[in-house]
Amino acid sequence: MRILYVFWSFDKGFKLIHKSTPPTTTTTIFLCIIKRLIEETNRQGGKQLKIKFKRQPLLNKLQLVAGLAESESPNDILRNILLRGFGKKKECFVAATDIESTIASYFNPEDAPDADFDILVPARKFLEIIRRMEDDDVVVNIHKNNWMEIKTTSGVFKFPFLSGKSFPKIPASPTKAVFSFSSQTVSTILPSLLNFAADDSLRRNLNGVYFEKIGGKIRLVATDSHRLAYFQKEISGAGNFEKFILSKKALGEVVKTIKDSKVDSETAFSFENNMVFCSTGETTVISNPIDSLFPEYERVVPDFSALEPAVVDKNAILAAVKRVSVFCEKHEKVDLSLVPSTLSISSVETDEGDAVDTVPVKFGGDELKTSFNPRFLVDSLSFLDGEEIDFRPGDGATPGVLTLTGSADFVCILMPVVS
């Protein structure tokens, strides 16, 4: 004798209990069909939370944090984005991590439930669905059985999620910043500085930007051992801090946060438990500094204050170097000759041709000759944000120095190419 119990509950969906003697083939097939119906009904039913977003603000936030999510990682946490909701505040935030760094950003949904929620969603899948939607409104239903669905006017997209409890704890940002830069300064300076940092995984201490306080100034330094650049700024009321190095990846995320913030915002830096907090608007990048010592870079920075500079139009010399560098594919070198009133830039003579270009300068000293890597020289000129620069090229045995005219807050040091 076989007894089959099938129960229906509004709270829990179908429940199936089967007690019998060994079932026949027909009974087995019937039970499989019932089981599939139960699973599908449970997946679609049950209690749920409904959140409504405006598509563009949600897309902006997902694009902001998705860069840290590693889609190919075997670690579930690294492949997912954390979506957390605070019911009483009617507020959400999204976050992602690569373990060394975490980025989290707050925003307000269009409509949210009173209950909190905390889920991990597949980063790439969630981002691509929202990116390709045509609706202005996004409705997300979060079911109790770890399935979520996104409803649009043309369709429904369902996929599983994980509990957000497995995501590493995100520490609260310290209430007081140690120092701040205008976001405009950060968005201008950091991308240029990152060009000077090394990509060599064996030299981790050169894989980022070095921060230190000198007197009342905050100085940021980057080098790959062939060239060096630093930016420094007097910041009133800046607190003291231990020198540290932030990775290129973490600082790249900081630059991205500025695009999501207001034009007149500031990027605040604070510290706690050996972590660096970089906050811009509603977004914070939290990172562990690189655990390594930065080289004693001051040794290669010459005392250039006593050297007469060649004052030159930045765009003019930048354009000239780019033109001549077309002939430098095989020999990564441009030769410079500085005489009163003229700077000559030339390539190495080869069977494929050569080039010479000249730029007018304000200079009255003795003739100087040197050579530089054209790409490094272009990066240095691009780093200097101004119309005129002071160029002290050196004599071929000493580093070249480029600064903004009348300022020593932007400094580039170039090691010469020795033939």
Give the angle 323-381-317 at the CA atoms, nearest 5°. Answer: 40
The alpha carbon of 113 is separated from its chain's Cα centroid by a whole number of angstroms, namely 32
**How far, CA to CA in Å, does 378 sit from each of 139, 194, 195, 348, 382?**
49, 14, 11, 18, 6
Asked if pLDDT for residue 377 goes beyond 90, the answer is yes
8 pLDDT band, cuts 50/70/90, is very low
User: Distance (Å, rounded) from C-alpha 90 to C-alpha 69?
Assistant: 26
Q: Is the pLDDT of residue 407 over 70?
A: yes
Q: How do the domains of the chain map onto residue ranges? A: 3-44, 48-166, 179-297, 301-414
Asked if residue 417 has pLDDT above 80, the reply is yes
Pairing relationship of beta strands 137-143 and 147-151 according to DSSP bridges: antiparallel
pLDDT at 19 over 70: no
Average per-residue pLDDT for the chain: 86
**154: Cβ contacts below 8 Å, ≥ 6 apart:** 134
Q: Report which secondary-structure segment, H or E, holds 125.
A: helix 123-132
**pLDDT value, residue 4:** 46
> What is the band of 36 on the pLDDT scale with cuts at 50, 70, 90?
low
Token pair recorded at residue 368: 């100087």
pLDDT computed for residue 345 by the predictor:
96
Listed as own residue / partner, the contacts of 34-42 with beta carbons closer than 8 Å and 24 or more positions apart are 34/6, 38/13, 38/14, 41/13, 41/14, 42/12, 42/13, 42/14, 42/145
Share of the chain above pLDDT 70, in %: 88
Task: Give CA–CA dist 280/180, Å, rounded.
Answer: 10
Same fold yes or no, 179-297 and 301-414? yes
330 CB burial (10 A radius; 0-12, 13-18, 19+) = exposed
Name which of 119, 180, 111 is nearest 145 in CA terms.
Answer: 119
3-state secondary structure (DSSP) of residue 179: strand
With left for phi above 0 and alpha for psi between -120 and 50, is residue 237 left, alpha or beta?
left
- What confidence tens digit (pLDDT) does each residue in 235-266 have? 988 999 999 999 999 999 999 898 777 667 89
Name the pTM for this structure. Answer: 0.82
Per-residue pLDDT band for 402 (boundaries 50, 70, 90) equals very high
In words, the CATH class of domain 48-166 is alpha beta
pLDDT value at position 399?
93
Please give the class, per CATH, of domain 179-297.
alpha beta
What's the CA gap between 382 and 318, in Å, rounded? 8
Could you say which of 3.10.150.10, 3.50.50.60, 3.40.50.1950, 3.40.630.10 is the CATH number of the domain covering 301-414? 3.10.150.10
